[in-house]
Amino acid sequence: MATRSTDRPRRVNAGYLFVGGYTVLLLAFGVLPTLYAIWLALTNSRGQLVGLGNFTRTFADPRFLPAFANIGLYLVFWLAALLVFVVLLAIMLHGRMRRTTATLRFLFYLPGALAGVASIVVWLILLDPNASPVAPLLKLLGYQSLSATIAPGNLPVLFMIIAFWTGAGGWIVVMYGALNNISHEVLEAARIDGATVWQLAWRIQLPMIGKWVAYMLILAVAAGTQLFMEPQLVSTASFGQISDSWSPNQLAYQYAFAANDFHGAAAISVDLLLLGLICAVVVVFRTGLFDRD
């Protein structure tokens, strides 16, 4: 008994040590930069408070609403793809495809091993009918050149496909792990009661991993609103066909490094922060993410 009582403080202290390290990093690279961005957004170049002046000024920019509309449309496609295909593939892996699970998990996760820029370069080659290994398919769809493939109207769907290819594998693994936490007795009882595979997935598995799905949506929105590298490289490859302010992050970049207006860039960054927070709050309260079972 004495050994157990002495082990408990050690475990508690170890827990504080791990949490303390994370807290320091969170403050240094999360909270403090956010507070600094808010301060920049509320002041001018002379350090004077201007209230919402930077926000109204950037909102009046003709590039502002199109950039947020582009990212909004991209998020619709991206979140729909995650909800449908990630959950579906995870359930399939957990069910009839269980024998090939290890191999498939490796294949799903493999694209995520590519660095972000390398991934976009690979996709630029794939989307070019003159160099792509799937050129016959692209030409069959009516795309005869790279500029036709990456036309502005195609970008939300293309960026969704790229994001799914690079990021969905990790979420499939996470959802598969969540499905493994469901009691085998619960699933077996449902099968004995005559539940079909569809009923098992819809009425038992999906509700029981609902909080993991909500967690995935929150992080996907946070990452999706920060879209920058993909449209930036596509804009460069298109030689000006695609706007260099296609996404809000690109617009903030233009404010900061083309116009030397860090206060306007900070205002756009805070707008993105608020957008992500609002979406997160909606998901949390609609799904009861932090409710105890």
Q: Residue 2: what pLDDT?
A: 47
Q: Quick check: is 113 in a domain?
A: yes
Q: Which residues contact 77 (CB under 8 A, 6 or more apart)?
A: 156, 157, 160
Residue 52 lies in a domain: no
pLDDT at 63: 95
Number of domains in the chain: 1
Residue 195 lies in a domain: yes
Our CA angle for 183, 189, 192, nearest 5°, is 145
Whether 40 maps to a domain, the answer reads: no
Q: Which amino acid, residue 80?
A: A
User: Would 56 be classed as within a structural domain?
Assistant: no
Query: What span, in angstroms and rounded, lies between the C-alpha atoms of 69 and 223?
Result: 16
DSSP 161: H
32 inside domain = no
Distance CA 155, CA 234 (A): 9
Task: Output DSSP code: residue 112.
Answer: G
Q: Residues near 34 by Cβ (< 8 Å), separated by ≥ 6?
A: 273
Residue 73, domain extent? 62-287
Residue 293 belongs to some domain of the structure: no
Instruction: Write down the pLDDT at residue 290.
Output: 76
CA distance 249 to 265: 9
- Phi/psi for 142 (5° steps) reads 100, 10
- In this structure, what token pair is assigned to residue 2? 């004495």
Query: What integer pLDDT is reported at residue 235 of this predicted model?
Result: 87
- pLDDT tens sequence for the chain (293 residues): 444 555 666 666 777 888 888 899 999 999 999 999 999 999 998 889 999 999 999 999 999 999 999 999 999 999 999 988 888 888 887 776 555 556 666 666 666 666 566 777 888 888 888 888 888 988 888 888 888 898 888 999 999 988 888 888 888 888 888 888 888 888 888 888 888 888 888 888 888 898 999 999 999 999 899 999 889 888 888 877 888 999 999 999 999 999 999 999 999 999 999 999 999 999 988 887 777 66
Cα–Cα distance, 217 to 287 (Å, whole number): 11
Alpha-carbon distance of 260 to 20, in angstroms, equals 37
CATH of residue 173's domain is 1.10.3720.10
Tell me, yes or no, whether 39 lies in a domain.
no
Tokens representing residue 66 in the block = 């199109």
pTM: 0.85
Tokens of 224: 């999706």
CA distance 137 to 142: 9
